[in-house]
Amino acid sequence: MKRYVIKRILLIIPVVIIVAILVFTIMYFCPGDPVSVILGGHASDIEIAAKRAEMGFDDPYILQLGKFLFNFFIKGDLGRSYITDQSVIEVIMARFPRTLIFSLACIILSVIIGIPLGMVAAVHRNSWGDRISMIFALIGSSLPNFWLALQLVIIFALRLGWLPAYGIGGIKYYILPIMAASLDGIAQEARQTRSSMLEVIRSDYVTTARAKGIPERKILIRHVLPNALIPVIQTMGNIFARSLGGALLIETVFSIPGMGVYLQTGIANRDYPVVRGSVVFLAVVFSIVMLLVDIAFAYIDPRIKAQYENHGKKNTLSPGRQQKGGA
Amino acid sequence: MKLKKSLALALTAVMLAGTLTACKSSGTTTGNESTAGTTAVIKSDTGESSDTGEKKVIIGVSADPETFKPYSSLYDWRYTMLCMVYQPLVLVSQNQEYKVMITGYEKVGDNVFEVSLYENIYDTAGNHFTAEDVVFSYGKAMESGNFSKLNSLVAIEALDDYTVKFTCDDTLVSGQFTLILSQIFMITQAAYEASADEMALSPVGTTGYVVDRYQAGANIIFAKSATGYWQTAKKGEEGYCFMFDTDNVDIVEYDFITESSQMAIALQTGAIDVASRISTMDLTLFEEGGEAFGTADTYELTGQHYTATFNCSEDSVCSDLNLRKALAYSWDSMGIVQMALDGMGEPATALNHNTRLDYDSAFDSWDYYDYNLETAKKYLQTYLDETGKAAGDVTITILVVNDTYLQKVAQTMQTYIMQLGVNCEVAAFDSVTRKSIRNSTEGWNIAVAKSTVTDQYLVSTMDMQFNRDKSASKAGGWVDDDTLQELLLAACKEETHTIQTVSAFEQYMKEQCYALGVCVDNVYLACDTWITELVTGPYDMVAPCASTYDWTAKK
């Protein structure tokens, strides 16, 4: 297991390098450049051309890529914003915690609410419980989160005056954004849990457990749920990844200075260090999250753990069985 | 299954009803009733409170300056916000030039000026500001490469402690020296060198305010400096400038609100006192019949001037004068104002707005291709006869930035143009992509852009857009016209800059139909009723130090 984890950690390195090359290449081929933003709308084309040359944008692709990769991976320098001249890594470290709070809150809510909802739906299949849960899940998946965000602001901030409409500060500033951002995740978890549990509930060993007289609650918690959790945990990973990169709409509506807005502004301004630094940073975070998801799989399902531990070994049979010719 | 369908329909209806109820913007309530039960006040958690008796105003703005470096890229709204800590030598606002840090300036030679400073200028760190600091400030600005207006400045020299000599070259156009004096913030060399981050987060300027707290992406709080403000002149006295008055407010907080509809909500809930911009849709909330009528005052300002420039390169069909005229006659500026701007604006015809200092009012009576479909069709037919094309063979591409109102204007123009029987499409891109397409000869035929109505000279904009020696894309829309260049230079040069030369250029542009105005929109501000007079400064941004407040009425 340790070897597997170390191997996965080492695999993050080529993933990050490939992501860095990809984002560099995409931004390279995007029309426009940041010089027109730096110099402002009143700069002439001749001034823009001179600034481009000064900033190295006229260098060949390979040369620019080489400089970027060297600075990035050897010097560890994510660069400075072309527009504000602020260190990209410092700004990311200031903004990322806010985005992380949303993502973690989405995960927690999706687990606390989504999984029980899915369980209720699965256990009471085709009854009222199932229908209400799935209608809720359908609404949650269908509602655009920016629309929901504005409705929550109008109801709770404007009409009732219970919560602030925008900004950052104490816990109360996060309530509405988290509500708006997590509904989709809750819906997804509920549907995935229901689907996975239905698959497992029909298994022979569950029927056997019932036949042996084990209480239904115990069957659900100890036999059904652990076996149904693999796809559910996978969904959690996806929700987390989406909420990391997709927090832009929520951050915009609630004026929260997070990663989404930072990245979007960087893209609009062709602020290459901001875009590259943010994307690679998010790629690293996502890779770590996926690793944690895979580790969680191993702890939940011993078969997967065995797979990890035996991965790479050519002959998994015991010596005794080998001698008998595998009989 | 039937039950599921009924439930789904019922829930959809509830959702729709909820949306319509929540989005209702007019009703039968009067102003008094609407404030009584429908809104509540939430004070933003800024850590500062006006309960201490300090005079504090909170302004909602749409973006964060992100840095206080005086020589970073300056957007319009950043300029006004940074004026809370920094000062330029001269301020231009509302057709008036304010000598902020100077007693005067005079032209002493060909494009050579001498500027005299006040002798008692100190920054908020207590450093004395002298002519050497002016030289230092301009040196830093030129080093940054972010100020194309300084390209005409050849040399700057301190003649003594309070006199500075500016030497410019022949490319200096009329009115540009005022821009040179007004666009660069002054700092002391001592304060700059003492700063660990080039004043990125710890600016030291010469106003009476300092940055008290800055939460990146959230808000900035400016508070009065302990050292006070060096300028003691009061209103009406020589040396007074409304932008830097320290008597009206003690604390100014700017909250960054990125979503436009949230600006109106923030004003309604009392989280902000001033909304620096509200949309025309949200404006109706505060007007008679609106649900928040009586809770805020609204201000209408002339906004941005929309100009249509034709691509006159060989790759574009608009290189033909007859076609350009046909298109110019085909759209109705008043109709565009009604349809695209909801009537909140006015038609435009001249190249730029009449607030420009050298605008000739005679332009208003000129015939600038007033909407006439028959005339448009005649010119189009002439073009088609000469080229042997059919109307359906012609496709016009209108290039715009993907801004809501620009797109609406372009789509309305598209509707008008298609009446001629030609094809027309709208190409909307982000600003950077749009600029790169605009600078090429292909991919567009008409570029519609908007510019802030400032108090600059008309010639400085003309020079920037149409001087083929300064633009890789020739003059604006790839125009290579010797007569145009000659008229432009005559209008721009200080010695020959007169109403007649400006008028001659405008006349020629009109005859050749290289570019023309489309419309001007209005921008709206709103503020709480306890603010008795809201004053705006450069770029129509709120000037909190100049506004007047009834602090006893503040909630």
pLDDT tens profile B458-498: 787 788 778 887 766 656 788 889 999 999 999 988 788 88
pLDDT of A315 over the 50 cut: no
Contact B470 A155 (CB under 8 A): no
- Report the pLDDT value the prediction gives residue A265, as an integer from 0 to 100: 87
Test mutation, A166, A173, A176, chain B, max B CBs within 10 A = A166
DSSP, collapsed to helix, strand or coil, labels residue B214 as strand
- Report the pLDDT value the prediction gives residue A292, as an integer from 0 to 100: 85
Contact A158 B432 (CB under 8 A): no
Contact A253 B259 (CB under 8 A): yes
Chain A contact set for B19 (CB, 8 A):
151
- Report the pLDDT value the prediction gives residue B41, as an integer from 0 to 100: 22
Chain B contact set for A54 (CB, 8 A):
145
B355 neighbors B455 (Cβ within 8 angstroms)? yes
Contact B436 A39 (CB under 8 A): no
Nearest CA in chain B to A169: B45
- Report the pLDDT value the prediction gives residue A274, as an integer from 0 to 100: 93
Contacts across the A-B interface (CB distance below 8 Å): 179
Rounded Cα distance between B100 and B89, Å, is 6
pLDDT of A131 over the 70 cut: yes
Chain B contact set for A275 (CB, 8 A):
none
Both tokens of B348, joined, read 């435009």
Chain A contact set for B18 (CB, 8 A):
151
- Report the pLDDT value the prediction gives residue B35, as an integer from 0 to 100: 28
Task: Report the pLDDT averaged over residues B501-519.
Answer: 93
Which range among A6-15, A45-54, A312-321, B23-32 shows the weakest confidence by mean pLDDT?
A: B23-32
- The string of pLDDT tens digits covering residues B308-359 is 999 999 989 999 999 999 999 999 999 999 999 989 899 998 887 777 778 8
Q: Which residue has the tokens 């903004």?
A: A95
State how far residue B340 is from chain A, nearest Cα, in angstroms.
24
pLDDT of B128 over the 70 cut: yes
Nearest CA in chain B to A38: B73
Chain A contact set for B435 (CB, 8 A):
32, 36
Task: Report the pLDDT averaged over residues A44-54.
Answer: 78
Contact B271 A167 (CB under 8 A): yes
pLDDT of A115 over the 60 cut: yes
Q: Where in chain A is the domain with CATH 1.10.3720.10?
A: 93-268
Of chain B, the percentage scoring pLDDT greater than 70 comes to 88
Supply the mean pLDDT for chain B.
86
Test mutation, A99, A158, A163, A183, chain B, max B CBs within 10 A = A158
State how far residue A317 is from chain B, nearest Cα, in angstroms.
53
Asked if the ipTM is above 0.90, the reply is: no
- The string of pLDDT tens digits covering residues A9-23 is 888 889 999 999 999
Nearest CA in chain B to A130: B4
- Report the pLDDT value the prediction gives residue B10, as an integer from 0 to 100: 62
State how far residue A327 is from chain B, nearest Cα, in angstroms.
55
Three-state SS annotation for B45-97: CCCCCHHHCCCEEEEEECCCCCCCCCCCCCCHHHHHHHCCCCEECEEEECCEE
DSSP, collapsed to helix, strand or coil, labels residue B548 as strand
DSSP A222: I
CB nearest B257 (choices: A151, A157, A166): A166
Task: Report the pLDDT averaged over residues B176-200.
Answer: 92
Q: Which residue has the tokens 């875009």?
A: A275
| Beta carbons within 8 Å of A159's beta carbon, 6+ residues apart | B38, B39, B40
State how far residue A264 is from chain B, nearest Cα, in angstroms.
12
Helices A272-300 and A225-245, interaxial angle, to 10°? 170
Which range among A26-30, B181-185, B538-542 shows the weakest confidence by mean pLDDT?
A: B538-542
Concatenating the DSSP letter of every residue in B455-496 gives SS-HHHHHHHHH-TTT-TTTBTTTB--HHHHHHHHHHHBGGG
pLDDT, greater one: A31 or B20:
A31
- Report the pLDDT value the prediction gives residue A42, as an integer from 0 to 100: 60
Q: What is the pTM for the complete model shown?
A: 0.83
Chain A contact set for B219 (CB, 8 A):
167
State how far residue A268 is from chain B, nearest Cα, in angstroms.
7
CB nearest A86 (choices: B66, B148, B470): B66
CB-hemisphere CA count at 13 Å for A212?
9
Test mutation, A154, A172, A261, A271, chain B, max B CBs within 10 A = A154
Both tokens of A251, joined, read 């951050």
Superfamily of domain A93-268: MetI-like (1.10.3720.10)
- The string of pLDDT tens digits covering residues B221-263 is 999 999 999 999 998 899 999 999 999 999 999 999 988 889 9
- Report the pLDDT value the prediction gives residue A325, as an integer from 0 to 100: 42
pLDDT, greater one: B71 or A245:
B71
- Report the pLDDT value the prediction gives residue B23, as an integer from 0 to 100: 39
DSSP, collapsed to helix, strand or coil, labels residue B428 as strand
